[in-house]
């Protein structure tokens, strides 16, 4: 074990296109970045959050841990997508000891799966905006077979999954460490990954709405494959460096514009629904993360559609790090991809 502090975990973000790992040394006054690495994943090894090639993914994780010289075996992982349901519900105020039974009873109407097939958790958010006799509760349900799948994966990689979190929560964890946040601003945390997009509307540190949808950079890959008559591997290379690798720059620009417009339309629909239901509370800032954050024209388009300030997340700003090891160029390049792994690395074994 690298650090002797009880409850220490490595944050392991298992994405559809890459694996990221982060290790922090946490004391009362400091969060020190010790290790961070990311490595691409074989296309098709994970599809829509489900593991298609267990051995290939486990091998990639083992390789990443070796390359970063991470010796800790206890990890925090996360998931999202179809098999995870996140819903804010209103319920009558009651003692927390009575809430568990009530939540399970109410959950069936919100969860599109048999209640016996999911693990349920919840968090009290506070008093309802609509009635002092009611409270807002964040309901989370994860399919048991998905949990078992990821437990098997980490075991195959020689690791112990001590915590299984939700991607959206991990992103919020690291966002809250970034200095100079306006506690009154209504902020949209937006993570556009390979196969899903997560939306989390916050006021300060309180989540007011969460949503996942199926959009992601896989749509761009599919368009590249069709337009340039190529396979997934070559399409990934084109996406990573379109100026160098795209056979037709104008066609590539059209693909970017079309997908950005689709994403913006879907995001604006969620935001407009939120704003219409919360007495015209307006989102004034958007913080982007994930591979989609870097897609040309997307941030500008979204900012214009929402009349909001749009920034790409800077997840390392609240951490202490060795600038010789983690230069500004490195943190800037990997920043959009790092938040979930870093947010998971903040977790401890005894966390709720």
**19 and 75 share one domain:** yes
**320: which 2 tokens?**
């202490």
**169 and 318 share one domain:** yes
- pLDDT at residue 122, as a whole number: 86
**274 and 341 share one domain:** no
The rounded distance, in Å, linking the Cα atoms of 212 and 198 is 4
Contact yes or no for 164/79 (Cβ under 8 A)? yes
**303 and 318 share one domain:** no
Per-residue pLDDT of the chain (352 residues; tens, 9 = 90+): 334 456 789 999 999 999 999 999 998 889 999 999 999 998 889 988 889 999 999 999 999 999 999 999 999 999 987 788 888 888 888 887 788 888 888 888 888 889 899 999 888 877 777 778 888 888 899 999 999 999 999 999 999 999 999 999 999 999 999 998 888 889 999 999 998 999 999 988 888 888 888 899 999 999 999 999 999 889 999 998 999 999 999 999 999 999 999 999 999 999 999 998 887 689 999 999 999 999 999 999 999 999 999 999 999 999 999 988 999 999 999 999 999 999 999 999 877 5
**214 and 154 share one domain:** no
- Domain presence at residue 259: yes
**4 and 34 share one domain:** yes
- Domain presence at residue 268: yes
**63 burial via Cβ count (<10 Å: 0-12, 13-18, 19+):** middle
25: three-class secondary structure by DSSP = strand
- Domain presence at residue 123: no
- pLDDT at residue 11, as a whole number: 98
- pLDDT at residue 1, as a whole number: 31
**72 and 8 share one domain:** yes
- pLDDT at residue 2, as a whole number: 37
End-to-end CA distance of the chain: 23
**217 and 76 share one domain:** no
- Domain presence at residue 96: no
- pLDDT at residue 112, as a whole number: 87
- pLDDT at residue 82, as a whole number: 77
**322 and 248 share one domain:** no
Domain that holds residue 277: 181-312
**300 and 207 share one domain:** yes
- Domain presence at residue 118: no
How many distinct structural domains can be found in the chain? 2
349: three-class secondary structure by DSSP = coil
Q: What is the CATH number of the domain that holds 218?
A: 3.30.420.40
Number of H helices, E strands in the chain: 11, 15
- Domain presence at residue 5: yes
**343 and 270 share one domain:** no
**253 and 270 share one domain:** yes
- Domain presence at residue 138: no
- Domain presence at residue 35: yes
């Amino acid at each position: 074990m690298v650090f002797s502090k009880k409850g220490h975990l490595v944050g392991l973000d298992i994405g559809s296109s890459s694996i990221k790992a982060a290790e922090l040394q946490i004391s009362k006054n400091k969060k020190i970045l010790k290790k961070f690495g990311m490595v691409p994943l074989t296309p098709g090894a994970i599809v829509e959050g489900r593991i298609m090639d267990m051995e290939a993914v486990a091998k990639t994780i083992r390789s990443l841990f070796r390359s970063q010289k991470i010796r800790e075996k206890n990890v925090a992982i996360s998931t999202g997508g179809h098999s995870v349901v996140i819903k804010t519900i209103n319920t009558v105020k009651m003692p927390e000891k009575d809430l568990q039974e009530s939540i399970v009873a109410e959950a069936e109407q919100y969860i599109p799966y048999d209640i016996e097939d999911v693990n349920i958790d919840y968090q009290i958010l506070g008093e309802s905006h609509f009635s002092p006799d009611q409270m807002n509760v964040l309901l989370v349900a994860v399919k048991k077979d998905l949990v078992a799948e990821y437990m098997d994966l980490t075991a195959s990689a020689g690791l112990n999954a001590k915590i299984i979190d939700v991607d959206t929560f991990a992103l919020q964890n690291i966002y809250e460490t970034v200095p100079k946040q306006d506690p009154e601003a209504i902020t949209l945390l937006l993570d556009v990954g390979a196969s899903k997009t997560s939306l989390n509307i916050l006021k300060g540190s309180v989540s007011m709405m969460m949503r996942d949808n199926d959009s992601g950079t896989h749509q761009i890959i599919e368009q590249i494959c069709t337009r340039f008559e190529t396979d997934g591997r070559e399409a990934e290379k084109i996406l990573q460096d379109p100026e160098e690798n795209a056979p037709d720059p104008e066609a590539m620009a059209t693909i970017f514009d079309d997908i950005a417009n689709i994403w913006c339309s879907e995001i604006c629909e969620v935001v407009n629904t939120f704003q219409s239901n919360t007495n015209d509370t307006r989102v004034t800032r958007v913080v982007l993360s994930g591979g989609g954050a870097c897609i040309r024209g997307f941030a500008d388009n979204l900012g214009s559609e929402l009349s909001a300030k749009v920034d790409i997340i800077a997840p390392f700003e609240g951490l202490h790090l060795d600038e010789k090891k983690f230069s500004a160029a490195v943190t800037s390049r990997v920043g959009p991809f790092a938040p979930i792994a870093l947010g998971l690395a903040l977790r401890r074994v005894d966390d709720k």
